[in-house]
Structure 1
Amino acid sequence: MVYSSKLASLDLPKSSIIQFLFANKFNTPQDRPLLIDADDGRYLTFAELKDQVLRFGAGLQDVCGFHANDVVAVYAPNQYNYFVPILGALAANGAATTANPNYNVDELSYQLEMSKAKVIICHEENVKTALKAADRVGISKKNLFVFGESSIHGIQPFQEALLGSRRAVPDALTYDEAKNKVAYLCFSSGTTGKSKGVMTTHANVTANTCQWTSIDEPFVDRSQDRMIAVLPFFHIFGLSAILHTAVYWGIPVHVLSRFDLNKFCEIVEKQKITIAPLVPPIYVLLAKEKSVLSYDLSSLRIGISGAAPLSGSLSREVKARLPHLSIKQGYGLTEISPAAISEPLDRIIDGSIGVLLPNMTAKVIGEDGKETPQGERGELCLKGPNVMKGYLHNPQATAQCIDDEGYFHTGDVVVVDEHQHFFVVDRIKELIKYKGFQVPPAELEGILLKSPIVADAAVVGIYDSSQATEMPRAYVTLVSGTAPSDKIARQIMKFVADQVVPYKQLRSLRFVDSIPKSPSGKILRRVLRDAAHQEENTENRPKL
């Protein structure tokens, strides 16, 4: 059956992201600090953000020869002014692509090449990598800039080089233009090992901001609430749920460049933070770490969980410590801009990802491609104004996941109860979700097979309840003459770690005589996962 949202449909925006955010629907005071550096207290007010965005856009045009539909790559950890180059690219009538600040040269070069980025905004921590990648793909050094106030390796800070006196005049997009003009190019990993650029339009973002915020508006006090940002802004969850939401609502957000539990607790206590968008591994720490008990976190009212499933038991553990905190889940993907389903704060069901947001429809289909009855398992397919335009330079992949009716096939298996609350129970796609990040098994397998001592390999995700996340595990067959040992296992894991960003590293390794495969040669990952479950059950079996 087809499920339609039971929430009232919204009259969605029909303008660009710039027009939408700076229309200031909720009359945010122009001098209210919105984006605040949690470390040193620097901030941008609503008026300063708008001013710097427009000046940045003009700087792109005047200094970098930036034209309509050109792309700015933002390659940095969270910064209080991260939104300036993001929105500045849009103000110059172009687009922005956000890159993981820990990417190596190969990974960054791939994204720069795919997105055809013309300008890079990097950080002092990764400027050397940015320079190498820029040289590889042919981006002029004069189009590289850094966050901060000092030049690094000859690269100027963008605040000094691009924020002149002129202000850009963004195009006033019609609704049709907003539905077709790409604003963001976030990259989503695929099971083939190569990440895909997701073309997110202006209308996708403005629609989803309204869909996402509408469900919480009755419970939010825009004059008093404060948010904390520890989720990475390069990820669509942080970009949307924090930056767009904060500016749209006019709610101050305290930005941490990276997560540290004690720093997080200190900021919550000191600034009386009320809203915290987090991921399950952070909720594990809040539930289990003793140091948390040393802080007064009673100001926290709304906890948002996304990027990976949050179990009902973990949610209850957190609330046992923080009884004042309501924890709601949201479900989405980069391809959905990103939210499609969320728990209403007044009727949270532990373990549920929520109900369909306004203007959304869904269907649940079985292996035969037919819609399943309510209460039966099936793949979740979603349709709405927030579904991406498609994958960048990849119409074949787009056609494979968006059907003729406009439904995006998520690869997640769900069950829907009689009240239309959705529960994720499995995943068809092979992606591993490690602490909210996507890890494609095929990429790690390709690296493993380059090792001279690895004959064959397979990688699967093994769920670790203690960390509330899947962990990438390799199953390896060694070449003749190499004997399995802990030393060899460490050697292979380091071989992989040296070639990938930290979140893609293997977390465990098992030696096997052969990799289970189908007659066609496809790795039978479920066989390996079943073996892992059997191993865990054996280890945990009471000793007689």
Structure 2
Amino acid sequence: MVYLSKLPNIVEPKTGLLQFLFGSDIPNDRALLIDALDTSRSLTFAQIKKKVLQFGAGLQDVCDFRKGDVMALYSPNEYNYSIPLFGAIAASGITTTANPNYSVEELYYQLDQTKAKVLICHASNLKTALIAGLRAGIQKSNFFVFGNEVVQGVRPFETALLGHREAVLEELSFEQAKERVALLCFSSGTSGRSKGVMTTHTNLTSNVAQYLELDKHAIDPTVDRMIGILPLFHAFGLTVNLNCALYLGLPLYILPGFELVSFCNTIQKHRITFATVVPPICLLLAKHELVSNYDLSSLRLAVCGAAPLSAELGRETMTRLPNLLIRQGYGLTETSPLAIIEPIDKTIDGSTGLLLSNMVAKIIDEDGKEVTKQGERGELWLKGPNIMKGYLNNPEATADCIDNEGYFHTGDIVLLDKDEHFYVVDRKKELIKYKGFQVPPAEIEGILLTNPIIADCAVIGVYDAAQATEIPRAYVTLKDPTTASEDIGKLIMKYVADQVVNYKQVRSIRFIPVIPKNPSGKILRRILREAAQEEDKLILSKL
């Protein structure tokens, strides 16, 4: 059975991303992007447009940046993050956003995959950027930093690239906008190592239009203010925070990342009304004693995504903050990212909501047949204007997840109620979601197997209620089983931590005599997950 969105259809925007974002009727002097920690640093709508075009011209003139070239953006959130992000697109190029905490190997992999020509980084990660970027073949003269100071010989982009000339935006036809890649975020997809997601101009413009068809009447840019604590390198923060704020003319107060005190202080001081969050933030809002020290009564609307929010935690958070309505949304980097969201006037505990406008879905059971009965589980397949073009340099992976009819196979198991509200109930894919970030087990297993004391291993996600997230757990078979101990476990976890970004770190270790596998050698993660569940039951029985 094919499910169609119950929301009104949108007319897909037919222009490029920047024409779409900058074409809104917004006062030029309205401050839209504001440093939440230092509000003297901000950008008006007019300044954003001018600086983006100057940056694009600077890329062309200083870096010989041409149509289709890639610029890598490797920085924590900054109030002017949008300038390089959109500046490369203004130069008819592509931006790839990287986690600012990536290790040298992780960053090098992304730079090598995308063949990035220019790298914009931050003083805090410049050392890593230089090692990875030079190894990837980026010229030293094409490195730039945020800020106003030259750091280790690397110039700030504000002075090196923003000159008098402004780039002329290339006018794209509708067909060109649907084909032209604007953004390369990286996702692990349904399995394996991370892949560049080719997100087109139309993917991005359509997703803003799809979301606002649902929420446009609930947001008043002259009154509402949004807080940006989700990472802007991630599709969720990039689209729902940055793109929507610019299109609506909604002031966005940007923090470098999430920290509870600065989050609460910003809401209180600036009377923030709208936030995007993930379940671990909801957990802190519901339970942390510090929250009681702040007046968060202005916060009235939040969208929670990146991982499922339990009905219980959602209720507990809204009980503590009675003016706040939290709604779940569902999506992936491959869906640009929003695909499903709860409507404000009909939220249901535990539901991720309704299909966004212009979207079509199927639910497919284990036999590959379409589910036809209410409440039956199956894998969610999605089709719409926000579905990515494909994976960079990886037609095989693209063909594995986008079928001949254009449906993207999400790897998530869902069911529907009688009103066609979706509920995510399981995951078919092996991916672990730690605090909203993707952790591919195969990548961590590959690192573990380079440790000389390890004979075999497997990594799974185990839900930790205390953190409201899955955590990566490694099951390890040692070459000498008699050496298994808590100290050896800590050494193994450090071995991984030294090579990966924080969210990919192994959080717990279990030593077992043999890793369960099928006859073809595939790890039977189901058996390990069942063992973890039994262990949890045993612990609870002793409490």
TM-score class, shorter-chain normalisation, is over 0.9
* Per-residue deviation, residues 412-470 of structure 1 (Å, max 9, x unmatched): 00001110100000000000000000000011111111111111111000011121110
The alpha-carbon deviation at position 480 of structure 1 amounts to 2.4
- Identify the residue that residue 176 of structure 1 maps to in structure 2: 175
Distance 1:58 1:484 in 2: 59
- Identify the residue that residue 391 of structure 1 maps to in structure 2: 391
Contact 1:191-1:442 at 8 Å conserved across structures: no
SS in 1 for 2:124: coil
1:419-458 residue pairs with structure 2 within 5 A?
419-458=419-458
- Identify the residue that residue 54 of structure 1 maps to in structure 2: 53
The alpha-carbon deviation at position 192 of structure 1 amounts to 5.3
The alpha-carbon deviation at position 366 of structure 1 amounts to 0.6
Distance 1:209 1:242 in 2: 10
- Identify the residue that residue 31 of structure 1 maps to in structure 2: 29
* Per-residue deviation, residues 39-86 of structure 1 (Å, max 9, x unmatched): 111100000000000000000001000101111100000000001001
The alignment status of 1:226 with 2:228, answered yes or no, reads no
- Identify the residue that residue 6 of structure 2 maps to in structure 1: 6
1:408-427 residue pairs with structure 2 within 5 A?
408-427=408-427
- Identify the residue that residue 376 of structure 2 maps to in structure 1: 376
Letter in 2 for 1:63: V
Contact 2:190-2:410 at 8 Å conserved across structures: no
- Identify the residue that residue 188 of structure 2 maps to in structure 1: 189
The alpha-carbon deviation at position 375 of structure 1 amounts to 1.8
| Structure 1 gap segments, 5+ residues each | none
Distance 2:485 2:89 in 1: 54
Structure 2 CA distance for partners of 1:338 and 1:223, relative to 1, 3 Å: same
Contact 2:195-2:391 at 8 Å conserved across structures: yes
1:507-526 residue pairs with structure 2 within 5 A?
507-526=507-526
SS in 1 for 2:346: coil
- Identify the residue that residue 316 of structure 2 maps to in structure 1: 317
Letter in 2 for 1:506: V
The alpha-carbon deviation at position 475 of structure 1 amounts to 0.5
1:226-375 residue pairs with structure 2 within 5 A?
226-373=225-372, 374-375=374-375
SS in 1 for 2:494: helix
Distance 2:389 2:446 in 1: 30
Distance 1:191 1:207 in 2: 24
Letter in 2 for 1:76: S
1:399-414 residue pairs with structure 2 within 5 A?
399-414=399-414
Q: TM-score, with normalisation over the residues of structure 2?
A: 0.99
Percent sequence identity is: 61
The alpha-carbon deviation at position 542 of structure 1 amounts to 4.6
Distance 2:20 2:280 in 1: 33
- Identify the residue that residue 538 of structure 1 maps to in structure 2: 538
Letter in 1 for 2:392: L
The alpha-carbon deviation at position 214 of structure 1 amounts to 1.6
Contact 1:453-1:482 at 8 Å conserved across structures: no
Contact 1:55-1:167 at 8 Å conserved across structures: yes
Distance 1:192 1:5 in 2: 28
Distance 1:130 1:483 in 2: 38
- Identify the residue that residue 490 of structure 1 maps to in structure 2: 490
Distance 2:43 2:98 in 1: 23
The alpha-carbon deviation at position 193 of structure 1 amounts to 3.9
Letter in 2 for 1:385: P
Distance 1:427 1:453 in 2: 32
Q: TM-score, with normalisation over the residues of structure 1?
A: 0.98
Letter in 2 for 1:180: E
Contact 2:191-2:429 at 8 Å conserved across structures: no
Distance 1:191 1:169 in 2: 39
What count of residue pairs does the alignment treat as equivalent?
A: 541
- Identify the residue that residue 81 of structure 2 maps to in structure 1: 82
Distance 1:65 1:429 in 2: 41
SS in 2 for 1:187: strand
* Per-residue deviation, residues 94-144 of structure 1 (Å, max 9, x unmatched): 110000001111111111111111111000001111111121111101000
Contact 2:228-2:253 at 8 Å conserved across structures: yes
The alpha-carbon deviation at position 502 of structure 1 amounts to 0.5
SS in 2 for 1:218: coil
1:66-77 residue pairs with structure 2 within 5 A?
66-77=65-76
* Per-residue deviation, residues 386-408 of structure 1 (Å, max 9, x unmatched): 10010001111100000111000
| Structure 2 gap segments, 5+ residues each | none
Structure 2 CA distance for partners of 1:364 and 1:154, relative to 1, 3 Å: same
Q: Which runs of 4+ in 1 moved over 4 A?
A: none
Contact 1:53-1:88 at 8 Å conserved across structures: yes
* CA RMSD between the two structures: 0.9
The alpha-carbon deviation at position 481 of structure 1 amounts to 6.0
Structure 2 CA distance for partners of 1:191 and 1:214, relative to 1, 3 Å: closer
